[in-house]
Amino acid sequence: MNYKNICADPCPIARCLAFLGDTWSLLILRDAHIGLTRFDQFRKSLGIAPTILTRRLATLTEEGMLEKRLYSERPPREEYVLTAAGRDFLPVLVMIGAWGHQYRGEGPLVRIQDVETGEDIKPVAIDAVTGAKIGTRPLRFVLPTGV
Amino acid sequence: MNYKNICADPCPIARCLAFLGDTWSLLILRDAHIGLTRFDQFRKSLGIAPTILTRRLATLTEEGMLEKRLYSERPPREEYVLTAAGRDFLPVLVMIGAWGHQYRGEGPLVRIQDVETGEDIKPVAIDAVTGAKIGTRPLRFVLPTGV
DNA sequence: AAGTGTTACTATCATTTTGAAAGCAATGTT
DNA sequence: AACATTGCTTTCAAAATGATAGTAACACTT
């Protein structure tokens, strides 16, 4: 299975992992949600080699998670800001964090707070149709008809 | 940043990506949730090289997402089944799928149905404290005290 | 009993990706 | 004029990945 095959895969999870399935992309998105926008901010935060960072930022931009924005004309400088699609990825990061909190929670841990209440959030994924927590009712993965 | 550093990272997201940040691990977990358990099932489903599959299954087992179970004594044969931690990862996969459905939804797509109602689920991540959808209220990432 | 099939791998080696270090371009600052 | 800042690119070694072939342990069939 190569990149092209994955993109044509009818599974929406596979389509995401086609460009997010690597060591850095999700961490870059995490940092973007924290508020980082600039090349050197990402580089210092992650300790990532600049070659790789260039490539990842380019991919995330092509895939519509980030967009470049000129923040200085002289000298010309660009930063990377989240698009609507990138912002809508937050629930995924939050759910990953919730899992990590439960199963990899030893030692000091970053927490996510609601700014207004000042309390740690308790992320839960539910099915809006039934209102049930995901995982409490049996689910079925359905292939598209005619495949 | 290397593997060890990531594991010691106080961010629960980073701790997950330390062992899930690659092309295959999350796809293997997806297939495990669909019901696959055997080496050749994963291999055929994903088109992954057996060398890599061996390594990924071993890592996922070490990290407590899967466990080996003997399903035949003669000949000795083992399969890989989800642990509680692996099952609790479902919300993450579902949220990734929801994002992919919204932003990579062209063409025929796998859908996730509630078995009892027979309807497609509509996954939403909420904060159980405020009841608000994640992304509708400002959040803050808080470093552990004393760091 | 010999040959064939099944399943879960391992061995080998070429290709691809990653990573570390240094350097560069365009400019502001002193 | 010299140095600092920022967003990269170049170079090359090291590590990961992938394709192909093969193996081990057995069951089943003829």
Task: Please report the pLDDT score of residue A75 as a whole number.
Answer: 84
Nearest nucleotide to A49 by CA–C1' distance? Answer: C19
Query: Can you give the distance from the CA of residue B110 to the C1' of nucleotide C21 in angstroms?
Result: 46
Do B34 and A143 contact (CB within 8 A), yes or no? no
For the domain spanning B23-83, the CATH number is: 1.10.10.10
Which of A123-127, B11-15, B74-78, B98-102 bottoms out in mean pLDDT, i.e. has the lowest? Answer: B74-78
C-alpha–C-alpha distance, residues B130 and A116, integer Å: 10
CB of B20 closer than 8 Å to CB of B26: yes
Q: For residue B136, which phi and psi values (nearest 5 degrees)?
A: -95, -15
Q: Is the pLDDT of residue A7 over 90?
A: no
What pLDDT score does A72 carry? 87
**pLDDT-derived band of residue B2, with 50, 70 and 90 as boundaries?**
very low
Which 55-94 residues of chain B approach strand D with CB closer than 7 Å? 55, 74-76
pTM of the complete model: 0.93
Q: pLDDT, tens digit, for every residue of A21-69? A: 999 999 999 999 999 999 999 999 999 999 999 999 999 999 999 999 9
- Pick the residue of A60, A110, A142, A147 with the most B CBs within 10 A to test the interface with B by mutation: A110
Name the residue with higher pLDDT: A6 or B113: B113
Q: What is the DSSP string of B102-129?
A: HHS--SS--EEEETTT-SBP-EEEEETT
pLDDT at B8: 67
**Tens digit of pLDDT for each residue in A91-137?**
999 999 999 999 999 889 999 999 999 999 999 999 999 999 999 99
The secondary structure element, H or E, covering residue B61 is helix B50-62
Domain ranges of chain B: 23-83, 89-137
Q: Is residue A29 a contact partner of residue A86, using CB atoms and an 8 Å limit?
A: yes
B66/B52 Cα distance (integer angstroms): 16
Nearest C-alpha neighbor of A122 from the set B10, B126, B93: B126
B111 phi/psi in degrees, rounded to 5: -120, 160
Length of chain A (residues): 147
Using pLDDT thresholds of 50, 70 and 90, give the confidence band for residue A146. low
Return the biggest CA–CA distance within chain B.
58
Does the pLDDT at position A8 exceed 90?
no
Q: What is the mean pLDDT of residues A10-17?
A: 94
Interface residue of B26, B93, B110 to substitute, partner A, most A CBs within 10 Å: B110
Whether any strand D atom is under 7 angstroms from the Cβ of B2: the reply reads no
Q: How many CB atoms lie within 10 A of CB A143?
A: 12
List the nucleotides on chain C closer than 7 A to a protein CB: 6-12, 17-23, 26-28
* Token duo for residue B88: 């609790």
Structure tokens at B5: 């550093």
Encoding tokens for residue B41? 């099932």
Q: Is the ipTM of this complex over 0.90?
A: yes
Is B22 in contact with A21 (Cβ distance < 8 A)? yes
Length of chain B: 147
A56 exposed, middle or buried (CB, 10 Å; 0-12, 13-18, 19+)?
buried
Q: What is the pLDDT of residues B4-30, one digit of tens each?
A: 344 568 899 999 999 999 999 999 999
